Amino acid sequence: MNFHFFSDFESISTLGFELIKEEIKKKPNLLFCVASGGSPSGAYAKLIAYKQQHTEFGAQLRVIKLDEWGGLEPGSPFTSELDVQQKFVQPMGITADCYWTIDPTTTDPEGACLRMERVLEQEGPLDICILGIGVNGHIALNEPREEHQLPYHVCELAESTLANGMLKTLKQPPSFGMTIGLRGIMQSKLILLFIAGSGKKEAFERLKEPKVSGQFPASFLWLHPNVQVLIDQRAI
């Protein structure tokens, strides 16, 4: 695991952009796992700005979504889908045949996860996986527990997740999650873990220890050969 420390969000966004850009240049049709949230948003913005100057950039990119909240009220603006559409998929011009996603309003979450796992088996493995870290050490929505499901799966959300950030302000918070499993993450050729925002100090302190525990899912990244951790020092 390679740690990169910066004094501001702009700097982690720049390094994230450069790492992604170089991989896309080497393999224009790579499979990119897009994550929602604020931590990778600066890198996405820089990729979009670069594409505006180099219109062919990203034209062959294949994109699959990391995870999604389930059980939100109809029309909720908090879905991962809306976030990644606005911040990455639409401005990068990703076409429907090159984008695989989980519908946040699905009435068959298990079936939706099974379809995503089949896509990953057919199109994968991932070339780049974008991750953030939860206050409890979750990556994607793989929450702390003794045993972990390896494929895309429906998951129970931890109380610490539901009590954090914007989730606790929602009139109807999510009642479950749908997420890529640890197998898909660990098979990715490159993992970029962005650490930014508030409340990440305790999780980062634990991440620094080269120990693996199911109760701290981010620790499994120690077993991967190519993890780049991009850290805004104000978050830790």
Residue 226 designated active-site: no
Catalytic residue (one of 117, 138, 142, 153): 138
Closest CA to 123 of 131, 115, 113: 115
Contact partners, residue 179, CB within 8 Å, separation at least 6: 66, 67, 68, 113, 140, 141, 142, 152, 153, 155
Residue 142 designated active-site: no
Residue 67 designated active-site: yes
Catalytic residue (one of 83, 127, 136, 232): 136
Q: Are 98 and 34 in contact (CB under 8 A)?
A: no
Tokens of 170: 């929602």
Catalytic residue (one of 67, 117, 127, 232): 67
Tokens of 49: 């700005």
State the amino acid at position 201 in one-letter form. Answer: K
Catalytic residue (one of 142, 143, 153, 232): 143
Give backbone dihedrals phi and psi of 161, rounded to 5 degrees, phi first. Answer: -75, -45
Residue 136 designated active-site: yes
Q: Tell me which residue has tokens 């494929």.
A: 151
In terms of DSSP H, where are the helices of the chain? Answer: 9-26, 41-53, 80-84, 109-123, 159-162, 182-186, 201-207
| Other beta carbons less than 10 A from residue 8's beta carbon | 13
Would you name the residues annotated as active-site residues?
Answer: 67, 136, 138, 143
